[in-house]
Amino acid sequence: MKEKFYICVVNQLNYDVIITGARCAGASLAILLGKLGYKVLLLDRSQFPSNTTSTHIVGEIDIYKELGVFEQLQESGAPSLHRMRIDLDGTFFESDIIVTQRALGLRRTEFDYILLQKAASFSNVTVKQNHKVNKVLKDNEGKTIGVEVKSKNSVSKQYGTIIVGADGRNSTIASQVHSPYIYESEMMRAGIYGYFKDVNPLTHPCVEWYFNQGDIIFCTPTNDDLHTILVMPHPDHYRNMKQNVKATLLNSIMKNKNLRLRLENASLIDGVKGIGPLKMFIRHSFGSGWALVGDAGAWVHPVSGTGMDDAVLSAKELSIAIDLYFKGIKSWEDALHDYQTKRDQIINIQINRALSTLQRADQPLSAEKQAWLKLICTFPSIVYDLGNKGSDVLDFLHFKNQDDLKMLVSLEKRKIIHEMRRNHP
């Protein structure tokens, strides 16, 4: 048996910021700090392009333009999705999406790599792949001052003014700085997904959502002419999932006749990926010399569908806080407190939506309620009346986000009026 030897290197360079984790949160933060002129070291244990367990929806636009990657995302091969299609136990609802101009169902192999390449394009950003952080380094007063990093043939010590953990839900940085939990949920549903080729496409590609006999299914077309199908099985179905994950995925899909027909000639590639039941959480996001971003600081169940965007938006807020600190405009405590407040605003919205959605799905529609729903959708006049009294219906349902919805409806009305004027000058 060969004995392994490692060269120990003490790095004499001092970085402004060391970021551990080079996926969407870490790479985005490196881009933003690179644009501001800071010296950044971006580390990741993986070699890119590589996959990771994740949602696949990108809905934001402005932040990716700011990052300078919008065009690359648009040209990635994932079709732009402008419509939302909801299947409630066999009854369809479909419409244009009004919360964003478009969504993309992009695989992480492409998404993360696009961001990483952009970060590496800055001369003041050093990217090191296949570098795993083993340990957080602290001074005699307990302040975080660097990290010990293991690569293939060496162990090095890297020093920086600020150490950022962007290293995922099981963050080494969060663990070693003993970041406390601000919030933890109960155990949430498992989620499993696979990539399918030769799926019969819809005429107009959509973000597809299925309430499916207690299960929740996402289906989105992605790059390389594939479809991503994510199944979040009802808790009662999890026992079967533990025995055969692939069978659980396929059985859930095949229970839905509309989706089953689309997969008549399809095949699963690259195996099945996913997570078991986990708790959502929010961690305290900063301390002496360190900060957390992305899933390292807060993790929301994939039913929200916004994890990638939330990580990037949080990275933007952290870059602002770090810049204010370095410029002496705010103290570290004040700057990072503001970051945490804004981060929590982003995350708490998604946690509440995830909890609300999962609570609904835990109680599938009865056969009688499904029959009433089909009856409503059978008669065009009833559907018309439903649309005509949409605001009253939402009031009756005690919809909690009325103000947000009214704003969206107002924006949609303006868009429709603009289209009418353009087509009929």
Q: For the segment 137-166, what is each residue's pLDDT rounded down to a tens digit?
A: 999 999 999 999 999 888 999 999 999 999
Residue 207 lies in a domain: yes
- Final residue belonging to a domain, choices 240, 275, 310: 275
Residue 425 has pLDDT above 70, yes or no: no
Residue 327 lies in a domain: yes
95-104 pLDDT tens trace: 999 888 889 9
- Final residue belonging to a domain, choices 357, 372, 397: 357
- Mean pLDDT of the region 64-90: 94
Same domain, 33 and 174: yes
CATH code at position 174: 3.50.50.60
Residue 82 lies in a domain: no
How far apart CA 78 and CA 90 sit, in angstroms, is: 27
Same domain, 269 and 395: no
351-407 pLDDT tens trace: 999 999 999 999 888 889 999 999 999 999 999 998 898 878 877 776 655 455 555
Residue 231: domain span: 191-275
How far apart CA 304 and CA 310 sit, in angstroms, is: 10
Return the pLDDT at 87. Answer: 95
Residue 422: pLDDT band (50, 70, 90) is: low
Element (H, E) at 273: strand 267-275
Report the domain count for the chain: 3
Same domain, 129 and 28: yes
Phi-psi region of 22 (alpha: psi -120 to 50; beta: other; left: phi over 0): alpha
Same domain, 342 and 303: yes
